[in-house]
Amino acid sequence: MQQQALSAIVSWVRLERAIDAFHLELKRRHGITGLQLSVLRICAERPQLPLAALRKALVMHPATLGQSIDELRRMDLVTVRTDPSDKRARLVALTDKARQLLAEVPLAGPMRLRDVDHEVPRLDRLKLALDDAIEMFGLADWDPARKP
């Protein structure tokens, strides 16, 4: 069992380091974070997206998402406007500059699962393994999907 535990730890560390290296290159070459790239990729799926839908898709705290959106606006990568049908809602849309950036950035990381076809059983196994990792790593108390 110890060998299997060590192998699992090594695989996790490899994944973590690969994600970190991708995020570092993303920041260095394109000036954006992994979170900002995720926001842009989801926004690219529709002409304009309600901020609430974006928050739900990313399972993220409103303040964290708001800061990311504000930075993307300052970088001229998104626009934010009031929804004409609901004055309380805000709609986020990509700029042409963001579309150009997305064409240049490698399609890597978890968001790749939304854009590249994978076998359904394989995706099911990945989901179960990641859910299992939360429990096995003792992180259930910090799981944002956990019901209080």
Contact between 40 and 78 (Cβ < 8 Å): yes
Are 79 and 121 contained in the same domain? Answer: no
Residues with pLDDT less than 70, the chain: 147-148
Same domain, 46 and 7: yes
Distances in Å between the Cα of 3 and the Cα atoms of 26, 107, 126 are 34, 33, 21
- Say whether both 8 and 80 belong to one domain: yes
Say how many domains are in the chain: 2
What is residue 59's predicted lDDT score, i.e. its pLDDT?
80
Q: What is the pTM assigned to this prediction?
A: 0.82
95 lies in the same domain as 138: no
**Alpha helix (H) ranges present in 75-119?**
96-104, 112-115
- CATH code: domain of residue 30: 1.10.10.10
Q: How many whole angstroms separate alpha carbon 36 and alpha carbon 32?
A: 6
| 24 and 82, same domain (yes or no) | yes
9/68 same-domain check: yes
3-state secondary structure of 143: coil
109 and 81, same structural domain? Answer: yes
The tens digit of pLDDT for each residue in 129-145 reads 999 999 999 999 988 87
User: What pLDDT does 146 receive?
Assistant: 76
Do 40 and 88 lie in one domain? The reply is: yes
Give the domain extent around 140: 117-148
As given in the structure block, the two tokens for residue 44 are 């690219």
Q: 9 with 73, same domain?
A: yes
Question: Which pLDDT does position 49 carry in this prediction?
Answer: 87
